[in-house]
Amino acid sequence: MAGLCAAISALEKGANVLVVEKGTRFGGSMRLSNGLIWTFANQAQVRKDVPDGDEAMQDFLVDGLTDSLVWLVSQGVELEPEQTFQWYGRGRRSNPAQMTPVLVDRVKAVGGRILLGTAMQALRTEDGAVTGVLAFDANGALEVQADSVLLATGGFQGNTELVARYITPHADSMYLRSNPCSTGDGFIAAVDIGAAVTPLLNTFYGHALTAPPARFNAFEFQDMSQKYGPIAVALNLEGHRFADESAGTGEEQLNFFIASQPRATAVYIVDAAMAGMSSENNPPPRLAIARARKAGGPVIEADNLDDLSEKMHAWGLPPGEVLKSLQAYNAAVRSESGDRLQPARRRNAFPIEKAPFTAVLVRSSITYTCGGLRADLDMRVLRRASSISMLPMVTADLSEIQTAAIPNLYVAGCDLGGISNRGYMGGLSHALVTGRAAGTAAASGG
Ligand SMILES: Cc1cc2nc3c(=O)[nH]c(=O)nc-3n(C[C@H](O)[C@H](O)[C@H](O)COP(=O)(O)OP(=O)(O)OC[C@H]3O[C@@H](n4cnc5c(N)ncnc54)[C@H](O)[C@@H]3O)c2cc1C
């Protein structure tokens, strides 16, 4: 998404553009997505719900979306009318199957070239300025010289080593809920030549998916996502609640917490009443549960909590602990004061009391990493050695503040960090707005 939008924007400014695409198909994660191009409706809501991001970058996204959607339509992409998204967002829905070929054709129509099956591995530099890339295709190495290089490789979620280093020791148990090519190549290449990175490299966006032995393909990620977590009770493999299931604006926060639990695994438990509830624009849990079951995912049903706990033994949970946790949860949410619930729960504290009871084994997944390369608002990648720290608690005199970019290096989309830290502002909008800005700036050089 970011790469194609950047390429078209640079071509519109008169640049010669070569796109190298590692995959054997076009469109990356954009092609797998649900197509809703949305972000927060206003900055005040962003400050409240995504308080740890780079405020200037977040505002750039909120301010830039409307214009970018008009631009997208002008390229031939079909968008539904604007809609509100939950209580905080707005956007327009695209059809990724239509959008992908339209953007690819547009790159070619305005004079760009695209090489499929060709991966960027390293940046070439001279006197600290970027002069091109080393790429590889099926025939071997390819040296490409360029006045500007723009990184849009989609994040580092596909790189187990980086995920283990920054996100969770249970990296090997995580599902990858994205295209398989985003293995941190842009991040690594830029850091190798001295790029600065954003804080909170541990943050990421994703949804819990039905656990193995479920079988599904990449176009079924959406159907396998168990987005009703915020109304369920979530237990880890030790049989304990470990987080506020309702934290954040959707299920992505709970998915983030599951990543740190043993085997990055949890159980979502709902009773008959919860199974029929719609939440946050999502259909009732029973539909997602039926899809999980159909795919061969682990689902248990029982008429009472004792039986449900006993049956969970088959998944390795200790039945005594499970029962104790569910009884303590019920007692706390029924109590007048509600203050005995540990961990506390901000929303949806429904008792689990109406049979049948259903338990679904889920695993955490990563759609994209939210930490990444640090850039200015022209999407120029900053040089670590010439920029001061961006940690939130930094104390610096005005005279000490300095940032400087690596000449000729730009970034867009999920390779750019700092927007959706501990929250989610939309992935397609982020790629669209930053892609256009980066492509425009890269065409002017410097
Ligand atoms: C199931 C699913 C549903 C989603 N639904 C939504 C939604 O409704 N709304 C929303 O806002 N977001 C959604 N997203 C997220 C959204 O798709 C991503 O945030 C967005 O596509 C990111 O754009 P990008 O350009 O950074 O990465 P991508 O679109 O993934 O593009 C990155 C590209 O870089 C290529 N690449 C990687 N490494 C190299 C290399 N070394 N050299 C050359 N090329 C390389 C990849 O092959 C890929 O084509 C969804 C994602 C998934 C998986």
Query: 3-state class of 22 per DSSP?
Result: coil
Radius of gyration of the chain (CA): 23
**CA angle, 55 then 441 then 28, to 5°:** 75
User: Would you write out the chain's pLDDT as a tens digit for each of its 446 residues?
Assistant: 999 999 999 999 999 999 999 999 999 999 999 999 999 999 999 999 998 899 999 999 999 999 999 999 999 999 999 999 888 999 999 999 999 999 999 999 999 999 999 999 999 999 999 999 999 999 999 999 999 999 999 999 999 999 999 999 999 999 999 999 999 999 999 999 999 999 999 999 999 999 999 999 999 999 999 999 999 999 999 999 999 999 998 999 999 999 999 999 999 999 999 999 987 677 899 999 999 999 999 999 999 999 999 999 999 999 999 999 999 999 999 987 756 789 999 999 999 999 999 999 999 999 999 999 999 999 999 999 999 988 888 888 989 989 999 999 999 999 999 999 888 999 999 999 999 999 999 999 75
Q: Which of 237, 216, 218 is nearest to 362 (CA)?
A: 237
- For residues 226 and 208, the answer to whether their CB atoms sit within 8 Å is yes
What are the tens digits of pLDDT across the range 283-320? 899 999 999 999 999 999 999 999 999 999 999 999 99
Torsion of Cα atoms, 254 then 249 then 231 then 333, to 10°: 90
C-alpha of residue 152 to centroid of ligand 1, in Å: 9
Domain range 207-363, CATH architecture? Alpha-Beta Complex (3.90)
pTM: 0.96
Query: Which of left, alpha, beta for 358 (phi over 0: left; psi -120 to 50: alpha)?
Result: beta
Atom of ligand 1 nearest to the CA of 27: 49
In this prediction, residue 85 carries a pLDDT of: 84
Q: Helix 2-12 vs helix 96-109: angle between axes, to the nearest 10 degrees?
A: 30
Question: Nearest residue CA, atom 15 of ligand 1?
Answer: 427
Report in angstroms the alpha-carbon separations of 22 from 2, 99, 129, 185, 373. 14, 19, 24, 10, 20
Query: What is the domain partition of the chain in residue ranges?
Result: 2-203+367-444, 207-363
Mode of pairing for the β-strands spanning 18-21 and 113-116: parallel
Sign of CA pseudo-dihedral 194, 372, 376, 393: negative
Look up tokens 């899809």; give the residue. Answer: 291
- pLDDT value of position 338: 55
Confirm or reject: Cβ of 95 under 6 Å from ligand 1.
Answer: no
Of ligand 1's listed atoms, the one at least distance from the Cα of 23 is: 47
- CB of 21 closer than 6 A to ligand 1? yes
Tell me which residue has its CA closest to atom 36 in ligand 1.
153
Atom of ligand 1 nearest to the CA of 177: 53
pLDDT, tens digit, for every residue of 236-282? 999 999 999 999 989 999 999 999 999 999 999 999 999 999 876 77
Ligand 1 contact via 120 beta carbon (within 6 Å): yes
154 C-alpha to ligand 1 centroid (Å): 5
Q: Over the chain, what is the mean pLDDT?
A: 96
> 2-203+367-444 maps to which CATH number?
3.50.50.60
